[in-house]
Amino acid sequence: MIYILAALLPPLGLLVNGQPISALINLVMIVPCILLGLIFPLLFLLPSAHAVIAVHMKRTDRRQREVLEAIQRSGVPPADWRP
């Protein structure tokens, strides 16, 4: 669900994911992309791509942190962990 929000409303998706600085950068990035997007339509996708990638990286970091904490607590990886 967060990926859909990040693709359709990039700054809001980043804010909901807990990345206010990335949301601000994305908001600043939207203005030139809209202006230059009239010439190069592919630039309309740049803020959405930035948001989706940032959300994915943050979620991956969280998952890795959870696995590391579980290993440190018990000495073995969690049961649902897959490399």
Q: Where are the beta strands (DSSP E) in the chain?
A: none
pLDDT of 33 reads: 92
Per-residue pLDDT of the chain (83 residues; tens, 9 = 90+): 899 999 999 999 999 999 999 999 999 999 999 899 888 888 889 999 999 999 999 999 999 998 888 888 887 776 777 76
Distance CA 64, CA 20 (A): 21
Q: pTM to 2 decimals? A: 0.80
Query: Hey, what amino acid is at 2?
Result: I
Domain boundaries, the chain: 2-74
pLDDT at 70 (0 to 100): 81
Contact 43, 33 (CB under 8 A): yes
- The confidence score (pLDDT) of residue 75 equals 72
